[in-house]
Chains A and B, each alone.
Chain A
Amino acid sequence: GDSVTQKEGLVTLTEGLPVMLNCTYQTIYSNAFLFWYVHYLNESPRLLLKSSTDNKRTEHQGFHATLHKSSSSFHLQKSSAQLSDSALYYCALSDTPFGVGDNSKLIWGLGTSLVVNP
């Protein structure tokens, strides 16, 4: 079945260094839709960015990710980590691409906790 793998459970960085959180997925569908959600402490999880277009960079709030269907990856990156980036980051996959049924849900990775230190 479909799955999402976030291989790092915890990433610890020093402020100013680049961020890269890994996300790979498996799906039988060619039109995968991938999402990154962020969960800050004492807030609700919210969408950070999403994409379904192969090899196109998607950006939001300083973060970016590019969906690479050839490697089934959607890694989250940022050029320079800030203390306020400390949060839990979830990668998710839509299990039914648009037009193929309407009862789809998201398949979630286990999440990566990012800790940015001064």
Chain B
Amino acid sequence: NAGVIQTPRHKVTGKGQEATLWCEPISGHSAVFWYRQTIVQGLEFLTYFRNQAPIDDSGMPKERFSAQMPNQSHSTLKIQSTQPQDSAVYLCASSSRGGGNQDTQYFGPGTRLLVL
């Protein structure tokens, strides 16, 4: 079991450019979560899919962030017109069911995004 895979591990973009982050959940897991991690805000929930359907995107900045899960083996987080304040580590996690209750979330290594 390879665990949750995230690519790229590091990404540097210029202000105003687009960034696309990829996540491959653990095979068989039905839930995928995206988080943003910063020193100031800690671990911020962004969005959540279950069985590929979007369940909760309450943490997503509405204007420039979007997430998709076109199939059960990968999800993408897209940030349009990146800004320096988007610089963070973006973490993807998967779990076997809903993710809450008693389900353990398994995290990927993260993508460290730096917007210059």
A binding-site residues for B, Cβ under 8 Å: 33, 37, 43-47, 50, 52, 90, 94-98, 102-111
Interface of chain B residues 70 through 116 with chain A (CB within 8 A): 91, 93, 97-102, 104-110
Interface of chain B residues 55 through 82 with chain A (CB within 8 A): 55-56
How far apart are A49's CB and chain B's nearest CB, in angstroms?
11
> What are the 9 closest A-B residue pairs judged by CB atoms, nearest first?
A104-B100, A110-B42, A94-B100, A44-B107, A111-B42, A45-B107, A98-B101, A47-B104, A108-B43
- Our pick among A94, A98, A108, A110 for the contact of B45 (Cβ within 8 Å) is A108
How far apart are B89's CB and chain A's nearest CB, in angstroms?
10
* Alpha-carbon gap, A94 to B95, bound state (A): 13
User: Would A96 and B101 be within 8 Å (CB), given that A45-B107, A103-B55, A103-B56 are in contact?
Assistant: yes
Asked if B102 and A50 make an inter-chain contact with CB atoms under 8 angstroms apart, the answer reads yes
Asked if A109 and B42 make an inter-chain contact with CB atoms under 8 angstroms apart, the answer reads yes
* Alpha-carbon gap, A105 to B97, bound state (A): 11
* Alpha-carbon gap, A110 to B44, bound state (A): 8
Q: Is residue B41 within 8 Å, beta carbon to beta carbon, of the partner chain?
A: yes
11 more contacts with CB within 8 A, not counting A37-B105, A102-B97, A110-B41, are A43-B109, A44-B109, A50-B102, A95-B100, A103-B55, A105-B33, A105-B48, A106-B99, A106-B105, A107-B45, A108-B43
Interface SS of chain A: loop
Per-residue contact bits, chain B 45-58, to A (CB 8 Å; 1 contact, 0 not): 10010100001100
How far apart are B23's CB and chain A's nearest CB, in angstroms?
12
Q: Could you jot down 9 A-B contacts, CB within 8 Å?
A: A43-B109, A44-B106, A44-B107, A44-B109, A45-B43, A47-B104, A102-B97, A105-B33, A106-B105
How far apart are A81's CB and chain B's nearest CB, in angstroms?
22
Asked if A103 and B98 make an inter-chain contact with CB atoms under 8 angstroms apart, the answer reads yes
* Alpha-carbon gap, A109 to B93, bound state (A): 17
Question: Cβ of B21: which chain A residues have Cβ within 8 Å of it?
Answer: none
User: Would A33 and B102 be within 8 Å (CB), given that A44-B3, A109-B42 are in contact?
Assistant: yes
